[in-house]
């Protein structure tokens, strides 16, 4: 009788342990499922340097959030990400400052040609008091918390034709692709061109078919998108330090604990800094690469482009909304 009892006890113990193991597994699964889902929309492709950085960001915060990035405008089309966040349909996005300026006109100064000298000037501006002011505008008026600017190279003019360009006058009549939006159109006009709105995902075909005569993007982006396959020359105008802002919905941000916010911010700064370094290194390599592919790559009269652009911007309706003294303050950042 005692032997049967011992067996019964042993069997019961094994069953209890097994049940505990199953319960533990379910608990772990429940915890995994409990992590908040963060969807992030971006227009660049999954082969872009920035995509690599976003994936790294996801790993950095993986213990807190289930982060999923959607590239190539597959979740929301270019220019619609901000509105999607405001409507509660999206948690995070890589947003163009030009899109913010549609709702906050004061932000248009941050989209002006020849404003930022380089990536370092951009970062220092956003990290300082000026950046704090503009981030607060986005937070208060749009419900968006900006983590950090995302540098992706200095924009250069890329054309299908072979006519040499030296001054803005040489761009007359050139259908230069620009994203939709008033700030983008002004940028194209400031270059002396005829700005033509085309979505980024449709740009290769537009160049190939001749729907547009050219485009402007940083050299690494042009290579990633293979625009050099359907164009003949790069004109190194250096007219705009290209950047977006890595952003999270304020509601999502406010739902985090302080330690989560700190880790979230640190992860964004770390991974985007790595992306910036790679872009800067690649920009140096691209001139030789495009020349090796048979394209003309040269510098025009940049002073002529800068003078023309600044006059165009200062005379524009957008400049009326710029905060008083802000242009001088940004220029003074060192």
Q: What is the pLDDT of residues 70-105, one digit of tens each?
A: 999 999 999 999 999 999 999 999 999 999 999 999
Task: State the virtual CA torsion across 75, 79, 80, 86 in degrees, nearest 10.
Answer: 120
Domain of 321 in residue numbering reads as 36-332
CATH of residue 99's domain is 3.40.190.170
In a domain, 173, yes or no: yes
In this predicted structure, the answer to whether residue 144 has a pLDDT above a threshold of 60 is: yes
pTM: 0.85
- Report the candidate in 168, 163, 134, 169 with the shortest Cα–Cα distance to residue 148: 134
Band the pLDDT of 5: cuts 50, 70, 90. Answer: low
Per the structure block, which two tokens stand in for 209? 């078919």
Query: What is the average per-residue pLDDT within 261-275?
Result: 99
Model pLDDT for residues 184-206, shown as the tens digit of each residue: 999 999 999 999 999 999 999 99
**Rounded Cα gap, residues 99 and 243, in angstroms:** 12
Query: What is the average per-residue pLDDT within 266-277?
Result: 99
Query: What is the average per-residue pLDDT within 317-328?
Result: 96
Per the structure block, which two tokens stand in for 47? 């082969």
User: What single DSSP character describes residue 323?
Assistant: P
In a domain, 249, yes or no: yes
Q: Position of tokens 């005692």? A: 2
State phi, psi for 294 to the nearest 5 degrees. 90, 10
In this structure, the strands spanning 233-249 and 37-41 are unpaired
In a domain, 2, yes or no: no
Per-residue pLDDT, 50:
98
In this structure, the strands spanning 296-298 and 144-159 are unpaired
Helical (H) or strand (E) element with 188: helix 182-190
**Rounded Cα gap, residues 215 and 233, in angstroms:** 11
The widest CA-to-CA distance across the chain, in whole angstroms, is 106
Residues with Cβ within 8 Å of 294's Cβ and at least 6 positions away in sequence, in order, are none
Check if the beta carbon of residue 237 is closer than 8 Å to that of residue 157. Answer: yes
Per-residue pLDDT, 140:
99
Check if the beta carbon of residue 239 is closer than 8 Å to that of residue 155. Answer: yes
Per-residue pLDDT, 4:
47
In a domain, 263, yes or no: yes
Query: What is the average per-residue pLDDT within 218-231?
Result: 97
Residues with Cβ within 8 Å of 234's Cβ and at least 6 positions away in sequence, in order, are 156, 157, 158, 159, 219, 222, 287, 290, 295, 296, 297, 298
Check if the beta carbon of residue 165 is closer than 8 Å to that of residue 159. Answer: yes
In a domain, 209, yes or no: yes
* DSSP SS3 for 15: helix
**Rounded Cα gap, residues 154 and 161, in angstroms:** 22
In a domain, 31, yes or no: no
Per-residue pLDDT, 7:
53
Number of structural domains the chain divides into? 1
Share of the chain above pLDDT 70, in %: 90
- Report the candidate in 191, 306, 293 with the shortest Cα–Cα distance to residue 233: 293
In this predicted structure, the answer to whether residue 21 has a pLDDT above a threshold of 90 is: no
**Rounded Cα gap, residues 75 and 78, in angstroms:** 10
In this predicted structure, the answer to whether residue 332 has a pLDDT above a threshold of 60 is: yes
In a domain, 3, yes or no: no
In a domain, 26, yes or no: no
**Rounded Cα gap, residues 57 and 68, in angstroms:** 10
């Amino acid at each position: 009788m005692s032997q049967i009892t011992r067996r019964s006890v042993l069997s019961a113990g094994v069953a209890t342990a097994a049940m505990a193991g199953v319960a533990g597994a379910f608990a772990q699964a429940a915890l995994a499922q409990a992590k908040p889902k963060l969807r992030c929309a971006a227009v660049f492709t999954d082969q872009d340097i920035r995509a690599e950085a976003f994936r790294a960001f996801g790993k950095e915060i993986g213990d807190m959030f289930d982060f999923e990035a959607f590239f190539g405008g597959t979740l929301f089309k270019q220019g619609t990400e901000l509105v999607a966040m405001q409507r509660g349909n999206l948690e995070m996005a890589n947003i163009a400052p030009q899109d913010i300026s549609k709702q906050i006109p004061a932000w248009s100064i941050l989209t002006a040609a020849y404003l930022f000298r380089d990536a370092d000037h951009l970062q220092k501006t956003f990290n300082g008091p000026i950046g704090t002011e503009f981030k607060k505008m986005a937070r208060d008026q749009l419900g968006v918390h900006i983590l950090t600017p995302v540098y992706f190279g200095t924009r250069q003019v890329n054309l299908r034709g072979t006519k040499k360009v030296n001054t803005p006058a040489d761009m007359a009549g050139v259908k230069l692709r620009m994203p939709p939006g008033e700030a983008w159109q002004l940028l194209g006009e400031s270059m002396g061109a005829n700005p033509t709105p085309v979505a980024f995902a449709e740009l290769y075909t537009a160049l190939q078919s001749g729907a547009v005569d050219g485009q402007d993007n940083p050299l690494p982006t042009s290579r990633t998108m293979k625009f050099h396959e359907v164009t003949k020359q790069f004109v190194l105008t250096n007219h705009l330090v290209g950047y977006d802002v890595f952003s999270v919905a304020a509601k999502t941000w406010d739902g985090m604990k302080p330690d989560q916010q700190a880790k979230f911010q640190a992860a964004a700064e770390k991974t985007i800094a790595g992306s910036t370094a790679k872009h800067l290194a690649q920009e140096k390599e691209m001139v030789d690469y495009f020349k090796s592919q048979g394209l003309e790559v040269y510098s025009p009269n940049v002073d002529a482009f800068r003078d023309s652009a600044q006059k165009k911007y200062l005379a524009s309706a957008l400049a009326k909304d710029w905060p008083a003294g802000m242009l001088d303050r940004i220029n003074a950042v060192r």
